[in-house]
Amino acid sequence: MPRIPLARPFWDEECEMAAVAALSSGRWVKGPQAKKFGEEFANWCGAVAAVPCQSGSAALWAAMRLLGIGPGDEVIVPGMTFIATATAVSLVGATPVFADIEEDYWCICPDDVEAKITARTKAVIGVHIFGQPFSQRLKQICKSHNIALVEDAAQAHGATLDGVMAGAIGDIACFSFFPSKNMAVGGEGGMITTTLPELAERMNRLVDHGRDDTLESVELGTNLRMSEVAAAIGRVQLKHLKDWTTKRRSNSESIIHETKTREGGAHSWHQLCILTENPDELISNLDAQEVDARVHYPIPCNRHQVYSQHFQHEISLPNCDKLAHRLVAIPVHPSLSESEIERINSALHP
């Protein structure tokens, strides 16, 4: 029987035609496709503006630059997330401060965030982990302390919090279009969005060497531009995203699991993660049914070797240490068939 992968990147004739048309135009970069993709994405999520870029990691770096974060500054990040959330802070010379996660929802813990705010704290990066929106309290905490809230929405295309879509919850949001994500662009890609009108023009500059309309570099930037081909594919994929999100939610309901979802939030189910005491046994059961699965994320960020000299490297974040190695991601993508869902349930409940 065919193996069920964790993701099935979508590609159809319309995507192919859009890619070929972009190539045939002779305008491979800095053309109308990227501009329209940004406009359409901002309209889709309710942001003031959006600019496509090379990756979700590039978007996070740009977010730090937009906020003027650098040496001497601190940015609070969750201890359990993809490492790029933390390294984006390090790459601008600032210090990531790791906060614990919630026991039930696995997003950054608001209480621990508030406890770790200092005079050097300039921002919090809240991750909508696996598509689960972070706590409503996070925005309140950031507002009361006058610090910026950045959404790491790399896994949260279509998620909502109190009716507001990811991408329009914080001051800046960062999306990824890596092939396994809820939508993609035929390769690497990302998107930066903002709810602050004063940042809209600077977003466009930062992805193009900090240049203004006269081509003078007025601030420090670099080449983070998305190609016209990728943007053209992204525009096609964006038209499907609402239906795909609906199907992911339907699949999550058809798969028998106990993963909790936040009240007031709508999960976008980039990954359906199963909390288990025996991850190796569960992965083995799934493998026997030809179902892909793996642990997300086995090592808390502060424990990675890259942070071996960090002041929190040996400090325990209790929920991160307790949960990180026990979360097994299983397929929930929109192309699952009924028979594949049956196989997944059979492996989960032998």
Are 205 and 126 part of one and the same domain? Answer: yes
**In a domain? residue 6:** no
Residue 170, domain extent: 13-236
- Give the single-character DSSP code of 296: S
Are 79 and 20 part of one and the same domain? Answer: yes
Are 160 and 24 part of one and the same domain? Answer: yes
Are 220 and 274 part of one and the same domain? Answer: no
**In a domain? residue 4:** no
Are 88 and 102 part of one and the same domain? Answer: yes
Are 181 and 292 part of one and the same domain? Answer: no
Last-in-domain residue among 207, 236, 265: 236
Residue 86, C-beta contacts closer than 8 angstroms, at least 6 positions apart: 77, 96, 98, 301, 307
Last-in-domain residue among 189, 209, 236: 236
Q: What is the pLDDT of residues 24-70, one digit of tens each?
A: 999 999 999 999 999 999 999 999 999 999 999 999 999 999 999 99
> In the predicted model, what is the mean pLDDT of residues 331-350?
96
202: domain CATH number is 3.40.640.10
Q: How far, in Å, are 97, 252, 290, 303, 335 from residue 311 at the CA level?
A: 9, 39, 42, 11, 44
Are 254 and 294 part of one and the same domain? Answer: yes
Query: Looking up tokens 């035609």, which residue turns up?
Result: 17
Amino acid at 8: R
8 A C-beta contact, residue 72 and residue 120 = yes
**In a domain? residue 2:** no
Does pTM top 0.85 for this prediction? yes
Place 1 in a pLDDT band, splitting at 50, 70 and 90: confident
Q: What is the pLDDT of residues 237-278, one digit of tens each?
A: 999 999 999 999 999 999 999 999 999 999 999 999 999 999
**In a domain? residue 48:** yes
Are 80 and 205 part of one and the same domain? Answer: yes
The residue count of the chain comes to: 350
pLDDT at 350 over 90: no
Tokens representing residue 315 in the block: 């400090």
Domain count, the chain: 2
Q: What is the pLDDT of residues 286-311, one digit of tens each?
A: 999 999 999 999 999 999 999 999 99
Q: What is the pLDDT of residues 165-208, one digit of tens each?
A: 999 999 999 999 999 999 999 999 999 999 999 999 899 999 99
Residue 186, C-beta contacts closer than 8 angstroms, at least 6 positions apart: 11, 15, 19, 229, 230, 233
Q: What is the pLDDT of residues 143-169, one digit of tens each?
A: 999 999 999 999 999 999 999 999 999
pLDDT (0 to 100) of residue 328: 98
